[in-house]
Chain A
Amino acid sequence: MAIDIEIFKQVAYFTGFASAELEEAAKLFFEQSLKRGAIIALEGDPVDNLYIVASGVVKLFKTSAEGKEQIIYLVYAGQSFNDVPVIDNLPNPASAQAMSPVDLYGIGNVDMHALLDKYPQAQKNATDLLAERIRNLSLLVEDLSFKHVIGRVAGILLKYAGDGAGPKPRLTQQDMAAMAGTAREVVGRSLKILEVDGAIKMNRHRIVISNKKALENMVEMAA
C-alpha cells in the first residue's frame, strides 16, 4: 500500500498546503492496515501516534466501569484521531476501534509536533479542527442531556442515512445504542415506534427513511 497524497488533501491539518509541502509532510507518515474490530487505541493509555484514516471507518468511544459504551464520533477517510492526546501529551480520552477493515497513516508524536512547529498554517488548521470537535461534543452533550431517546435515535438515522455524498457505515442496533447513550433493546423499541408512526420502514437489513420531516420533528422534541 503506497501513501495516497489525495488523502492528505482532505486532512484538516493540511488545508492550504502546497503540493510540495504535502509531499514533505507525507514522508513523516507510516502505513498500517488493520482488520475489522481491531483495537487501535485504549482510553487512559499514553499515545505514541496520531492517525489519519485512509480507508474504512474508525469509532472513538468511552467505556463506563460497567462496560457500557458511548460512541463519541466516527472517523472517516481523510479525518484524524488521537489528536488531543498527541497535542496535550496526556492519556487518551477515548478508545479507537476499526468498524471495518481500515488503512491508516500514522505519525509519531515528535514528528507531529515538529510538523506543527514548521508550518504555522498547520497550527491554525489544528486550532480550527479542535474548535469543530468542541462544537460537535457540545451538540452531543445537548442530545444526551435534553433529548428523549426516540429523538436521539431519529437523529442518528438522519445523520447516517446514505445520501450519495460519501460512504456511510452500516450500524448495528448496538452501535446506535452506543451513540444514543441507551441500551440496544431501547433502540429496537424506538425503531418499532418510528415504523408504526410511518417515519421509517424496516426492510430486512435496510432502514428506509420514508418520512424525513417526521424524523426531523422527532429530533426537535425535547425530553
Chain B
Amino acid sequence: MAEMPYIDLEKCDSCGACIEICKCQAIVMINNIITIIETDECGWCIECESICSPGAISCAFEIVFGD
C-alpha cells in the first residue's frame, strides 16, 4: 500500500488548490470532499502541503539510516 499525504478534513475548506497543483492526480473531489487517492504516482513533491492555506494537508517524512 503506497504511503500518501494526510488530510485533516476538519481543517480543509475545500478550496481545491491542492487538486489544481497536484501533478499526479492523487487528489480529487468526491461528493464535495477533498480526497487523496492512493497511487504510486505520488512523488511526495509536497506541493499540496505547501499550497494548503489552512494547513490541512501534511506530507510527513520518515527519517532512516541507510544500509
- CB neighbours (8 Å) of B63 from chain A are 157, 160-162, 168, 170-171, 206-207, 209
- CB neighbours (8 Å) of B55 from chain A are 174
Which one, B49, B58, B62, contacts A206 given CB within 8 A? Answer: B62
Render A200-212 as a binary contact track against B, CB cut-off 8 A, 1 for contact: 0110111111101
- CB neighbours (8 Å) of A204 from chain B are 3, 42-44
Query: Measured between alpha carbons, how far is A36 from B6 in the docked complex, in Å?
Result: 11
A positions within 8 Å CB-CB of B: 36-37, 157, 160-163, 168-175, 184, 188, 201-202, 204-210, 212
B positions within 8 Å CB-CB of A: 3, 8, 10-11, 42-44, 46, 49-50, 55, 58-66
Q: Can you list 29 residue pairs at the A/B interface with Cβ under 8 Å? A: A36-B8, A37-B10, A160-B63, A161-B63, A161-B65, A162-B63, A168-B63, A169-B60, A171-B61, A171-B63, A172-B49, A172-B58, A172-B59, A172-B61, A173-B49, A174-B49, A174-B55, A174-B58, A175-B60, A184-B50, A188-B46, A204-B3, A204-B43, A204-B44, A205-B44, A205-B59, A205-B60, A208-B66, A209-B65
